[in-house]
């Protein structure tokens, strides 16, 4: 019987359990494999902490947020100065062999896919499955977790509209996304943001202020400013949202409040879209194990599930291109991206 290991690593997101279920059930039911769950990401391989996953243990987890396997941010190939960089990878290799794994499915974001590639180079049979709310993994058009995060952020923006209107305030909302502005762009457009600031587009504070003052002069009672957490790079002490709210108060004199949405965006049950994408990715990964297609990451390309070599993915981030159609549409509807006068 073929034995396949599954782990989830890096920051969690809604849909991981749906993916674990997709891999596990397909591996057990379709291919008669044994499935081993690795606890807490790569730490579980270092500490040899595993559970055997049966079909019944994989039932009822489709709708659950988080990950039943736990996760950690451990980067096995990243060591502190003076430490031997081969110790942890060789421990992982040793335990992979002792556990008699013939394949390892690594569900994770950019960091995880990089580690997955390095482990593949060490000779392990690796398959990557992309997941993150940030939607910033190179090689795939979409990641699960993103749709749920956009829904949560959009609902938050909807709620800010009513209180902003009552008090005639500028409301700044900071959303996640690391160095990518996908959540900010999508929730900003869906929630009718007036100013949307993305890490990919350098903004001009004067233009942001001008846009907000023009709205106020036109007797628009309030404004919504959606900010990607990665726009503020001058130092990490203050959040981008808090920083932006302060700048707006200073430059416009308008009454301004900030909301930092935070981890709410990563918690809870995945949307239907994310459940479906995670299930498609998971079942495809199990098929890849069966076909012994290793050293690759599952990916969505033009609506179809396929795979890309891990060596092409490792460490690269998929940012928003300046010619993104949604940016153009937003501009024509009067959204200020901080770099034009519209
Ligand atoms: O990558 C997902 C993400 O939620 C980012 O949007 C955010 O910057 C980061 O993780 C937060 O990481 P941590 O879980 O380490 O606080």
Catalytic residue among 12, 84, 117, 134: 134
Catalytic, 134? Answer yes
134 is in an annotated binding site: yes
- Predicted local confidence at residue 342, as pLDDT: 47
What is the rounded end-to-end Cα distance, in angstroms, of the chain?
Answer: 63
Could you say which DSSP state residue 58 is in? G
Q: Which two tokens stand for residue 45?
A: 């391989």
Phi, psi of 71 (to 5 degrees): -150, 165
Determine the atom of ligand 1 nearest the C-alpha atom of 73: 15
Determine the atom of ligand 1 nearest the C-alpha atom of 263: 4
51 is in an annotated binding site: no
Determine the atom of ligand 1 nearest the C-alpha atom of 183: 6
Residue 48 near residue 98 (C-beta atoms within 8 A): yes
Q: Whose CA is nearest to atom 7 of ligand 1?
A: 178
CA of 112 to the centre of ligand 1 (A): 13
Determine the atom of ligand 1 nearest the C-alpha atom of 230: 8
Could you say which DSSP state residue 1 is in? -
65 is in an annotated binding site: no
CA of 11 to the centre of ligand 1 (A): 6
CA of 210 to the centre of ligand 1 (A): 32
Mutate which of 130, 177, 178, 233 for ligand 1? The one with the most ligand atoms within 8 Å of its CB, which is: 178
Cα–Cα nearest to 226, from 317, 157, 129, 281: 157
CA of 176 to the centre of ligand 1 (A): 7
Pocket of ligand 1 (CB under 6 A): 11, 73, 109, 132-134, 176-178, 229, 266
Report the distance separating Cα 143 and Cα 299, nearest Å. 8
Q: Whose CA is nearest to atom 8 of ligand 1?
A: 178
Beta strands 50-53; 34-38: pairing state: antiparallel
> pTM value?
0.96
State the DSSP string of 83-109.
Answer: S-TTHHHHHHHHHHHHTT-SEEEEEES
Per-residue pLDDT of the chain (342 residues; tens, 9 = 90+): 999 999 999 999 999 999 999 999 999 999 999 999 999 999 999 999 999 999 999 999 999 999 999 999 999 999 888 888 899 999 999 999 999 999 999 999 999 999 999 999 999 999 999 999 999 999 999 999 999 999 999 999 999 999 999 999 999 999 999 999 999 999 999 999 999 999 999 999 999 999 999 999 999 999 999 999 999 766 666 799 999 999 999 999 999 999 999 999 999 999 999 999 999 999 999 999 999 999 999 999 999 999 999 999 977 899 999 899 999 999 999 999 999 754
Q: Whose CA is nearest to atom 10 of ligand 1?
A: 11
CA of 133 to the centre of ligand 1 (A): 9
């Amino acid at each position: 019987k073929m034995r396949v290991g599954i782990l989830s690593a890096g920051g969690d997101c809604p849909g991981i359990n749906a993916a674990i279920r997709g891999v596990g059930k397909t591996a057990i039911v379709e291919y008669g494999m044994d499935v081993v769950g690795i606890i807490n990401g790569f730490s579980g391989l270092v500490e040899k902490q595993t559970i055997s996953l049966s079909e019944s243990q994989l039932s009822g987890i489709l709708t659950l947020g988080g990950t039943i396997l736990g996760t950690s941010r451990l980067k096995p190939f990243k060591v502190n100065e003076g430490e031997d960089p081969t110790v942890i990878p060789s421990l992982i290799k040793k335990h992979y062999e002792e556990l008699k794994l013939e394949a390892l499915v690594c569900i994770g974001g950019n960091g995880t896919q990089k580690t997955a590639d390095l482990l593949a180079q060490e000779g392990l049979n690796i398959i990557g499955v992309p997941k993150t709310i940030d939607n910033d993994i190179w090689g795939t058009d979409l990641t699960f977790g993103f749709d749920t995060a956009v829904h949560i952020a959009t609902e938050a923006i909807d709620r800010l509209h009513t209180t902003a209107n009552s008090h005639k305030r500028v409301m700044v909302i900071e959303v996640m996304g690391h160095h990518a502005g996908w959540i900010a762009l999508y929730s900003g457009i869906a929630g009718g943001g007036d100013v949307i600031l993305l890490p990919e587009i350098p903004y001009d504070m004067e233009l942001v202020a001008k846009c907000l003052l023009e709205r106020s002069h036109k007797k628009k009672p309030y404004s919504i400013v959606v900010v990607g957490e990665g726009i503020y790079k001058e130092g990490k002490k203050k959040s981008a949202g808090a920083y932006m709210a302060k700048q707006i108060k200073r430059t416009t004199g308008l009454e301004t409040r900030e909301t930092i949405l935070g981890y709410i965006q990563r918690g809870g049950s995945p949307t239907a879209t994310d459940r479906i994408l995670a299930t498609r990715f998971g079942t495809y990964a199990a098929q890849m194990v069966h076909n012994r297609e290793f050293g690759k990451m599952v990916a969505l390309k033009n609506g179809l599930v396929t795979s890309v070599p891990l060596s092409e993915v490792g460490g690269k981030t998929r940012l928003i291109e300046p010619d993104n159609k949604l940016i153009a549409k937003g501009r024509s509807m009067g959204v200020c991206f901080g770099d034009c006068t519209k």
